[in-house]
Amino acid sequence: MAITNMRTLATQVKLRRLIRAFGEAQDRLATEPLERKLVGPVVDRLIELAADVTHAWRREALLRPLEAPLEAYAADSLRTMELAVAGLAQAGADLGLLRQDFETAALPLEVFLRGLDAEPALQRSA
């Protein structure tokens, strides 16, 4: 039987890619401080990945809009992730705090998206 309700699959895939890339970049920046000129391309790539997540979410959310509070949660999480990514480029940035901010937004968002895909199954069992 095919799963017909994968309404957030593209967003989930892009979000997982961003989570992995952010962790790798943050680890790299923390263990081997790069020259400032080399930080830019790393952050630029993360910004691109964050934009991919946001665009995927917007496309998928247009197909099946959520209630306003749930949409606001997703938008706030996406914005927090974008700010944490941008913060990596700042000289003297607290990498640990940025990672915490990023993960506090990204990891619950990943679970939230999975829950949206499971929603009809949950409604059937209720």
Most confident stretch, 34-38, 53-57, 120-124: 53-57
Give the model confidence (pLDDT) of 57-101 as tens digits.
999 999 888 999 999 999 999 999 999 999 999 888 899 999 999
Given a cut of 90, whether residue 110 has pLDDT beyond it is yes
* Cβ within 8 Å of residue 86, ≥6 positions away: 43, 47
Architecture of domain 9-116: Up-down Bundle (1.20)
Percent composition of the chain: helix, strand, coil (DSSP 3-state, to 5): 80, 0, 20
Q: Per-residue pLDDT for 3 more than 50? A: no
Report the chain's mean pLDDT, rounded to a whole number: 87
Q: Where are the domains of the chain?
A: 9-116
